[in-house]
Structure 1
Amino acid sequence: MSSIRKRLVVAGGGAAGFFCAVNAARLCPGLEVLVLEKTGKLLSKVKVSGGGRCNVTHNAPDITYMTKRYPRGAHFVRKTFSRFFVTDTIAWFEERGVKLKAEADGRMFPVTDDSQTIIDCLLREVDKYHVKVETNKEVTDLEKGPDGRWRLQLQNGQELKADYICIAAGGYAQAGKFGWLEKTGHSIVPPAPSLFTFNMPGHPITSLMGVATTAHVKIAGTKLQEQGPVLITHWGMSGPAILRLSAWGARDLQALQYTFTAIVNWLPDYNENSLREEWPSLRQELGKQKIHHKNPFGLPQRLWQFLLGLAGIGEELRWADVPAKDQNRLMKLLVCMEFPVKGKTTFKEEFVTCGGITLSEIEPATMESRLVPNLFFAGEVMDVDGITGGFNFQHAWTSGFIAASTVMQMMLSDNPDER
């Protein structure tokens, strides 16, 4: 474009950073694009997402449906999705030979079921458009120089210059880590973990590690509740329902210091009253059969026998012979079992934080700072986070693409003869 080669530096070698970089290089042939990654790994969350399959996006029918899956930033992404949505993500990857498929729960993966497919696609774009990528290069300070260009200070003492900067550094667990960005005049919403599992130290339920079932879970004393798959682990509970609760309740659960009571209904189709009404017919129908061997609710057998044991119901008892007090205890365990939660565990390496750059300081139509020209943001560094299911990656692709498109428009406006 311009005879004077301009430079975009992208701070962050994750999904948002790479997507910004490769699209900017493609749209602006005269632009030098450099990606700086503070660690030695590129696209690390892409690699581990979805159990190594990469949950690229979510098969949402429309923007309204999609925005309801963001505990923070819903109003912001409603605007950005009008620029680059799920359908655009699908088309972008398919144009580059990567076909995506939707599963029953809406999650979308490459048909290869291998996250390396997504990584290889992005790396091919890096090579095709001559994007420079450097690892172990952490930006620690940036400021505008007297020539109007950005000066970046790296942890190793190196100094770089850039015309445009896109911050795609991901989330930080501690507010202090945002200091270098606060120096630009931006304010920070304090971070908090947003996707984590519930620890239940010492609870006998952990003996059922690996058992999964659909359940309804609510947090006592709050309005937080979710229904969906629950996975019992050696430390407590995980699975989509738990992870969604952790996202919606990120701030509330942090305030409780991750010490609260989770109430689990193992039979979401019933409540205590409806189960009590159903019970006499079950006793009559199954009366001669041993209750340990006959589970009419479709629960995993290990879970069923575990609950019977907690209720004090012996292995040889028949349905018709269960004492009333044991029967009442079992019904309560089935539909409102209480679990003391003490602590959390990061969900593998798919750790997400809420908090980050205050959204009112970013223009959603361009991803440019409203405070400082030529400074852009993409991905988790902003105060946007979605529940598990491909929503955080869609925000990454969208924000990265918009930032790249804006840089292109800026370069065109600087060089009107090249439109």
Structure 2
Amino acid sequence: MLPLKIVVIGGGAAGFFGAIACARLNPEAEVTLIEASHQLLGKVRISGGGRCNVTHACFDANELVQNYPRGGKALRGAFSRFQAQDTVAWFAAQGVLLKTEADGRMFPTTDNSETIVNCLMDAAQAAAVEIWTKAPVVSVKHSPNHQFEIVLKSGEVKKCDRLLLATGSSLVGYKLAQALGHHIEPPVPSLFTFNIVEAKLRALAGISVNPVRLRLYSGEKSSLEQIGPLLITHWGLSGPAVLKLSAWGARLLHDQHYQATLLINWLPDLSPEEVKQKILGVKNEWGKRAIALHRGVDLPHRLWQYIINRAGINPDDRWAGLSNKTLNLLIQELTQGKYAVNGKGVFKEEFVTCGGVNLKEVNFPTMESKLVPGLYFAGEILDIDGVTGGFNFQSAWTTAYLAGTAMGS
């Protein structure tokens, strides 16, 4: 009996993890990983600023799925079979220990993504996975005898019994899936920063506030809300709260050409009435002092000066002269300041998209296509994306492990 021939297209995290799982389970199988570029594991190398945010310390499947704007429901069962705790154990078994940071993100103890790259490369080599680089795939056909015929740009043809598409957000991968009969949800950016065209705000670049509450309105759609750290930048706003909001609102914002209204509550731990009482307390105690110098609320000094300016208060104005009308404007700026979003930036070098292979066309216990026997999917080619913090890698490890295990069975 001829050995099972298995091909994985895509040399990223999902491709490697799937190939390794398959080759380990079925050592007799011939597993080949094909990567278009010369560099393997490119996104792993740059993730987390070169440290590689491997996963997140969230070890409850029901809680874990809450971090996926798209795909959470489909991942619930998948995470019951392989989740973050299994990822930690898998890498530990290879001699790579992970550490947990205060925000739950998990990195190798070396703080170096090359640790993860080398681990995956070594594991693939030990499992006898054959790796082809600089081998762009032009087309894939599925024959009546259930074999796949993969045509490379070089003209070489590779045949296999089972095929895993783990091409990330590559348009080539989407085209291959479409050619095999799958529907692609249109890919649009996720995890991005907000451009705010307001020079005085941008002048505060580098100031961070934790937490703030953000509420986003775009068009006539209902609002989206996030709470968490905010960072003011040279182009507008960033930080975890903004990135999460961009992920949940990715398609909505795309449809509105990234034009939206953002409400910022700089003091989310206080009710508007509590904010009012604090402000009145300062007014009563420091009536003769300048409002710009005695703020009474826990905000950075430069940010406070910017906010009072927005409320129409001059730097030399005294607390005693604060009218009720101006007081109300100040409270409004502190609890629901209105900012116009005029476009998007990017999040460092990492780029996450929402969109991809329609999840209804995939059997999640095995990650096999419901349309084409022997075809499997893993990673970002699927219409799955998570918020920042290691969640996108976790969905890649999970879907790849399930696909690899099923292919090798």
Map residues 115-134 of structure 1 onto 2, 5 A cutoff. 115-134=113-132
Identity %: 44
Q: CA RMSD in A?
A: 2.1
- Superimposed CA distance per residue, residues 98-150 of structure 1 (whole angstroms, 9 cap, x where no aligned partner): 11122222221222222222112111112222322223322231112365421
Map residues 284-323 of structure 1 onto 2, 5 A cutoff. 284-287=284-287, 289-323=289-323
The residue that corresponds to 1:179 in the other structure is 175
> Which consecutive unaligned segments of at least 5 residues does structure 2 have?
none
Q: Distance in 1 between matches of 2:273 and 2:150?
A: 64
- SS at 2:180's partner residue? coil
Which stretch has the larger CA shift, 222-231 or 155-164? 155-164
Aligned length: 405
- Residue 94 of structure 1 is aligned with which of 86, 92, 95? 92
The residue that corresponds to 1:344 in the other structure is 344
- Superimposed CA distance per residue, residues 257-316 of structure 1 (whole angstroms, 9 cap, x where no aligned partner): 111111111111234343223321122344455433334332223222222333344444
- 1:198 aligned to 2:169? no
Q: Distance in 2 between matches of 1:293 and 1:93?
A: 53
Query: What's the TM-score, normalizing by structure 2?
Result: 0.92
The residue that corresponds to 1:189 in the other structure is 185
> Which consecutive unaligned segments of at least 5 residues does structure 1 have?
410-419
The residue that corresponds to 2:277 in the other structure is 277
- Residue 37 of structure 1 is aligned with which of 35, 38, 43? 35
Q: Distance in 2 between matches of 1:101 and 1:287?
A: 51
Q: CA deviation at 1:16?
A: 0.7
Q: Distance in 1 between matches of 2:302 and 2:165?
A: 48
Q: Distance in 2 between matches of 1:295 and 1:115?
A: 44
The residue that corresponds to 1:160 in the other structure is 158
For residue 178 of structure 1, what is the amino acid of its counterpart? Y
The residue that corresponds to 2:209 in the other structure is 213
For residue 96 of structure 1, what is the amino acid of its counterpart? Q
For residue 67 of structure 1, what is the amino acid of its counterpart? V
- SS at 1:124's partner residue? helix
Q: CA deviation at 1:387?
A: 1.3
Q: Distance in 1 between matches of 2:337 and 2:154?
A: 54
Q: Is the CA contact 2:165–2:173 (under 8 Å) kept in the aligned structure 1?
A: no
For residue 354 of structure 1, what is the amino acid of its counterpart? C
Query: What's the TM-score, normalizing by structure 1?
Result: 0.90
Q: Distance in 1 between matches of 2:206 and 2:130?
A: 43
Change in CA separation of 1:339 and 1:92 when aligned onto 2, cut-off 3 Å: same
- Superimposed CA distance per residue, residues 43-92 of structure 1 (whole angstroms, 9 cap, x where no aligned partner): 22222222222221111141110111111111210011111111111100
Q: Is the CA contact 2:167–2:173 (under 8 Å) kept in the aligned structure 1?
A: no
Which stretch has the larger CA shift, 127-136 or 158-167? 127-136
For residue 399 of structure 1, what is the amino acid of its counterpart? T
The residue that corresponds to 1:416 in the other structure is none
For residue 367 of structure 1, what is the amino acid of its counterpart? M
Change in CA separation of 1:312 and 1:207 when aligned onto 2, cut-off 3 Å: same
